[in-house]
Structures are given as structure tokens and as C-alpha cells.
Structure 1
Amino acid sequence: MKIRFAVVDDAAFLRELIKNIVSSAGGICVGEAENGDDAIKLAQATLPDLVFLDMVMPLRNGIETAKALKELMPEVKIIGCSTIDNEALIEQAHQAGFDAYLTKPFTKDQILKTISKVLPQQGESTHGRT
């Protein structure tokens, strides 16, 4: 898997966990952020294929961040990772641009299967960089 990904979560241990899981499967972490504003700057600077995005963060929540990311980079894939398991909110997240949604706690297998669903070609970066 040669996808370029970013991790956005205000909890450092969760950023590290996701980074380790996806990197161990061959993904390339292009950066991490702890709030929505930093996530947008990071995505513009690094052009990830995939962004793991928390729902509840300082400055800008996951829904606001997803809308901004999809406006700037319509091709970016977004996987939500949150403790919130509310159907109405998850539907709102999908309408905002989330391509998939995982409820914390999640397993390594759940993360990798979700990546396969949102990036079925998962071999190469859509940006041609490694």
C-alpha cells in the first residue's frame, strides 16, 4: 500500500496509533494535526490521498474540516474516527464529505479494511509521489 495519509486528532496517542497501523501496512504518513485549522494547512501543503479525521477537535470540528478539505481537494478520501456513534451525526459526516466512518475503539483490521473500501486501488498515490 503506497498511500499518502495524514492523521488529524486532538489526542496524540490516537494519532500515533493510526500512524503506526497504516505505516506498518506500507502507507506513508505526510503529517499530523491536532485541530481542523492545522489539518487544512497540512493537507494543502502535503496533498494526502487519505485523511483520518476526528469529529470533536478544537477550533474546527470534523464536519467543518471535511467540508473545507473537500472544497480544496475534492479527490481526497476522508475516514472519520470518533467515539461518537450517533446515526444522525454520522449521516451529517457523510454529507460533509466523509468517505467512511470508524467508531473508536477500532482494530487494525477495521482500519485496513476501511482503507481498502475508500481507496480500492490502494497501490499508488493519486499524486504520483512516494
Structure 2
Amino acid sequence: MARILIVDDKSLMRNTLKTILNKTEHVVVGEAETGLEAVQLYKELKPDLVTMDITMPEMSGIDAIKSIRQDFPEARVIMCSAMGQQKIIMEAIEAGAKDFIVKPFDDCRVMEALNRALK
């Protein structure tokens, strides 16, 4: 069972992911709307995994990953984005993302990414 932090500036996306995760043994321990909030919540909650949107106000998901991994190099993050562009995927992986999920979310793809990241 993994403890998961969901980060997305859109409540609909957070709820969609929560619905998918609630079908599993994993537990959603927190939600953040911005990259800054994600960094603060990560420090408090120390989740096993983070699902991170790329485009958010205040701080992008990529900057948030860099910030989290500075203090927690073992942090596991899966990037989520509506933009499946190669350049952004590469940036996310270079920043330390374990995987990448494109929106709209596909239940099977989300589960595959989670299982891979948690291994």
C-alpha cells in the first residue's frame, strides 16, 4: 500500500485520479493545487509517490520536482500533463520523474505507471 500525494491545479483532475486510486489498496494522503504547495506538503507528509501536473500557477511541476528531489533524492514522482510533447517529457524525466501520464487519464495506464514507479 502506497501513500500518494496528488498535485494538480484543476480539482476535476485531482478527483479523477482520486477515483482511480480509490479502486486500489493505495491511499491518497494529500492534495495540492500548486507546485509550491506540493513542495510544502511533501515535506510534511513524505508520501511514497506523487502525481504531479506540469502546468500550474506559482511553480511548475518540473520546478517542484527539482525542489523536492533536492531535499529528498529518493522521491518518486509521476508527471501528468495534457501535453504529450517529447521535449516536456524529457525535461520531466531529467528532473527526476519516474513516469509520465497523459490526460485524460486512462485507468490502466495510471495503474501501470504507479506500479512501475513503486517497484
Instruction: Give the TM-score normalised by structure 2.
Output: 0.96
Count of residue pairs the alignment pairs up = 119
CA distance in 1, matches of 2:71, 2:3: 17
Q: Which residue of 2 aligns with 1:118?
A: 117
Instruction: Please identify runs of 4+ aligned residues in structure 1 that moved more than 2 A.
Output: none
Unaligned runs of 5+ in 1: 121-130
Q: Which residue of 1 aligns with 2:23?
A: 24
Q: Which residue of 1 aligns with 2:108?
A: 109
CA distance in 1, matches of 2:20, 2:101: 14
Q: Which residue of 1 aligns with 2:92?
A: 93
**CA deviation after TM superposition for structure 1 residue 3, in Å:** 0.1
**CA deviation after TM superposition for structure 1 residue 23, in Å:** 2.4
The alignment yields a C-alpha RMSD, in angstroms, of 0.8
Residue type of the partner of 2:16?
A: L
Q: Which string of whole-angstrom CA distances, capped at 9 and with x for unpartnered residues, describes residues 66-98 of structure 1? A: 101111211121001101111011101100111
**CA deviation after TM superposition for structure 1 residue 106, in Å:** 2.1
Unaligned runs of 5+ in 2: none
**CA deviation after TM superposition for structure 1 residue 52, in Å:** 0.3
Q: Which residue of 1 aligns with 2:76?
A: 77
Q: Which residue of 1 aligns with 2:55?
A: 56
Q: Which residue of 1 aligns with 2:10?
A: 11
- Aligned-partner SS, 2:109: helix
Instruction: Give the TM-score normalised by structure 1.
Output: 0.88
Q: Which residue of 2 aligns with 1:66?
A: 65
CA distance in 2, matches of 1:40, 1:16: 20
CA distance in 2, matches of 1:23, 1:46: 19
Paired residues of 2:83 and 2:102 also in contact (CA < 8 A): yes
Residue type of the partner of 2:107?
A: K
CA distance in 2, matches of 1:8, 1:51: 7
- Aligned-partner SS, 1:68: helix
Q: Which residue of 2 aligns with 1:126?
A: none
Paired residues of 2:17 and 2:105 also in contact (CA < 8 A): no
Q: Which residue of 2 aligns with 1:124?
A: none
Identity value in percent: 32
